[in-house]
């Protein structure tokens, strides 16, 4: 089963992707068509670049946690597996994204990333929270879930 949030009313719906194949899944509350994503895509972090940032984060419905990192950063390598775990556990409640600040300086500068790892939490395209440093998974999850409601 996959948890899908209705884009029209915000209701959470459980959908069996195999059973919905070839049919239109509809929201149980308002009847609007539901947008089903592939389970592989929602269970792994989305790699964000300067040119895809607006599409993948700002235009995304719901909550997105974007990990701003660099491959040479030791604390970032500690946080990386936590991002993978959170993505695998998301069940459609939120999305995890990763932005390599070395390769994407425009977005890093836009959000004044001066220390990494920095994690930005967006809700319906608006920045709502910022976490700085290699925090433990329970601390990251608590802040994320506070916004994913």
pTM score, whole prediction: 0.72
Which positions are catalytic? 73, 76
Tokens 């001066």 belong to residue: 114
Q: What is the pLDDT of residue 18?
A: 63
Q: Which domain holds residue 25?
A: 1-36
Q: What is the pLDDT of residue 33?
A: 85
Count of domains observed in the chain? 2
Residues 48 and 23 in one domain: no
Q: What is the pLDDT of residue 40?
A: 47
Q: What is the pLDDT of residue 19?
A: 64
Residues 70 and 133 in one domain: yes
| DSSP-derived 3-state class of residue 97 | strand
Q: What is the pLDDT of residue 39?
A: 45
- Tens digits of pLDDT across the chain (149 residues): 677 888 888 888 888 766 655 677 889 999 988 876 644 456 789 999 999 999 999 998 899 999 999 999 999 999 999 999 999 988 888 999 999 999 999 999 999 999 999 999 999 999 999 999 999 999 999 999 999 86
Other Cβ atoms within 10 Å of 112 Cβ, number:
9
Residues 86 and 26 in one domain: no
CA–CA–CA angle 139, 77, 125 (5° rounding): 55
Residues 48 and 114 in one domain: yes
Tell me which residue of 70, 93, 98 sits closest to 82, measured CA to CA: 98
């Amino acid at each position: 089963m996959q948890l899908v949030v209705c884009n029209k009313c915000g209701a959470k719906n459980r959908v069996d992707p195999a059973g919905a194949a070839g049919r239109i899944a509809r929201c149980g509350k308002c009847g609007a068509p539901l947008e089903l994503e592939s389970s592989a895509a929602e269970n792994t972090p989305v790699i964000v670049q300067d040119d895809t940032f607006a599409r993948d984060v700002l235009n995304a419905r719901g909550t997105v946690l974007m990990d701003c990192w660099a491959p040479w950063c030791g604390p970032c390598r500690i946080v990386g597996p936590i991002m993978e775990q959170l993505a695998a556990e998301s069940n459609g409640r939120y999305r995890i994204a990763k932005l390599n600040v070395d390769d994407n300086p425009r977005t890093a500068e836009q959000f004044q990333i001066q220390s990494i790892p920095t994690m930005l939490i967006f809700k319906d395209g608006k920045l709502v929270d910022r976490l700085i440093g290699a925090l433990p998974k329970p601390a990251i999850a608590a802040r994320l879930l506070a916004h994913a409601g």
